[in-house]
Structure 1
Amino acid sequence: MNIEQEVLAILDDAMSLKGRALQFSRNTVLLGALPELDSMAVLAIISGLEARLGLTIDDDDIDGAVFATVGTLVDFVQGHFSG
């Protein structure tokens, strides 16, 4: 499984970006740069990560730094697989 591609697909679905997110790089800024990334989208992303990737994410694990860039979100997800 390519975690980065899965994360991009989840971002695209959660924010209804119609394929735009699939072109994002690890350096793409998320928080503050995408008007679609609101609190409801954050919840949809977390739910998508849990459902699609089988993760269990505690509320205490989430802060703004996780959603700073695509790379920080991918690293967060990878940390759940290696942790």
Structure 2
Amino acid sequence: MAGDTTDVEAAVRAVLGDVLGLGAERTAALETSTPLFGALPELDSMAVAGLLTELEDRLGIIIDDDEVDGELLESFGNLVAFARSKLAR
């Protein structure tokens, strides 16, 4: 069930909201093309570690350091696709 498309998207949305302190309206407005790193002031280099750790905990995945790059956090869609790919392994 965790691999379900909408469940993964909802989990990523919830983690972004919780870790970054975004309100419900802002998290609900996240779309595939919504830019993240560099566009959300709350998502700075310090917040990235907390965000990734929380994704690991909630989704039961392991994110290796070498998997984290600018493209991963470029958009909401990229982050969701990455989480889906980790669950598919």
Same fold, TM-score > 0.5, yes or no: yes
CA distance in 2, matches of 1:35, 1:13: 15
Alignment partner, residue 63 of structure 1: 69
Q: Does 1:11 align with 2:16?
A: yes
Question: Taking structure 2 as the reference length, what is the TM-score of the superposition?
Answer: 0.87
CA shift at 1:72, angstroms? 0.3
Query: Residues 2-81 of structure 1: matches in 2 within 5 Å?
Result: 2-19=7-24, 20-81=26-87
For the 8 Å contact 2:36–2:73, the answer to whether it is kept is: yes
CA distance in 1, matches of 2:57, 2:20: 16
Cα-Cα RMSD: 1.0
What runs of 5+ residues in structure 2 fail to find an aligned partner? none
CA distance in 2, matches of 1:24, 1:17: 11
Question: Taking structure 1 as the reference length, what is the TM-score of the superposition?
Answer: 0.93
What runs of 5+ residues in structure 1 fail to find an aligned partner? none
CA shift at 1:22, angstroms? 2.6
CA shift at 1:53, angstroms? 0.7
Q: Percent identity?
A: 42
CA distance in 1, matches of 2:30, 2:83: 17
Count residues in correspondence.
83
CA distance in 2, matches of 1:39, 1:55: 21
For the 8 Å contact 1:8–1:24, the answer to whether it is kept is: yes
